[in-house]
Amino acid sequence: MNKKCMAANWKMFKTRQEAEETTRELMSLTAAKLPSDREVLLIPPFTAIASVAATIGSKTGFGVGAQNFYPAENGAYTGEISPDMLLDLGCSWALVGHSERRHLFHEDNEFLAQKVRFGLERGLNIILCIGETLNERKNGQLATILNKQLTSALSDIGYTDIASRLVVAYEPVWAIGTGEVARTEDIREAHDYVRSELKKIFSSAADSIRILYGGSVKPDNISEIITLDNVDGVLVGGASLQAESFSRIVLG
Ligand code: PGA
């Protein structure tokens, strides 16, 4: 069975030195006590990936991911980073479809599907982020939106080892960075729905695909969230920036 994934999305925060310091402090607070059924994934900005990977070294239970990549091997794509460049830095995971990429940078389902496919093909493991806006929720479109985001990105994948290569993060857009965490019944409903949709796509392999919750996860709400059925980890933004606060989430 896959371990619970405790992921830190540092967004556009931290220089190399700050990222190294936070990583070192986090490891000293958690490494000795990390339960055997949990792992930590740090997702710093591109510029700090190599330093975080070097700080982690070969320590088990800790890994590095990227926040983004462009779905091409190489080429004239000024400003972009390829999956091979990330793998070369010691980075094995990447986010695709974070709500900030969808909304601020207008990445649509079709482009995100290309990224998922290409990233997996090149050897990256993918964390596909999905979630509804407040308006979509109010209009009763939760299932329609999640269904579209999942099926468009995953329908043609067909990898046999999918459960070790793919993670889905359910992050309601209205709960990201707002301090407004979804109610446990909302999380349960959405995660149950995601699991049932994954089963339609991947049949029994879907049972071991991890589904993370993200959106205002904090040290004081982690224990309630992490124990819910179908919650296989968390994706944390704001509360992951300080080692002390993220360590309480990792161990919480
Ligand atoms: P938050 O961000 O924890 O600050 O709400 C979560 C995310 O963006 O992944």
pLDDT in tens, 61-81: 999 999 999 999 999 999 999
Q: Assign residue 11 a region: left if phi > 0, alpha if psi is -120 to 50, beta otherwise? A: left
Confirm or reject: Cβ of 249 under 6 Å from ligand 1. Answer: no
C-alpha distances (whole Å) from 238 to each of 33, 232, 249 are 23, 20, 12
Q: Which of 39, 100, 107, 171 is catalytic?
A: 171
In the reported structure, the alpha carbon of residue 138 is separated from the centroid of ligand 1 by a whole-number distance in angstroms of 21
Banded pLDDT at 181 (limits 50, 70, 90): confident
Q: What is the mean pLDDT of the chain?
A: 96
Nearest residue to 43 via CA among 212, 248, 223:
212
As a residue count, the chain comes to: 252
Question: What does the pLDDT look like over 121-178, one tens digit per residue?
Answer: 999 999 999 999 999 999 999 999 999 999 999 988 877 789 999 999 999 999 998 8
In the reported structure, the alpha carbon of residue 187 is separated from the centroid of ligand 1 by a whole-number distance in angstroms of 15
Confirm or reject: Cβ of 236 under 6 Å from ligand 1. Answer: yes
For residue 136, the tally of other CB atoms under 10 A from its CB is 17
Q: Is residue 185's pLDDT more than 90?
A: yes
- Known active-site residue 98: yes
Banded pLDDT at 1 (limits 50, 70, 90): confident
* Amino acid making up residue 173: V
* Domain residue ranges in the chain: 4-251
Cα 122 to Cα 86: distance, rounded to the nearest angstrom: 10
- Known active-site residue 191: no
- Pick the more confident residue, 160 or 51: 51
CATH number of 4-251: 3.20.20.70
pLDDT computed for residue 179 by the predictor: 86
Burial tier of 54 (Cβ tally within 10 Å: 0-12, 13-18, 19+)? middle
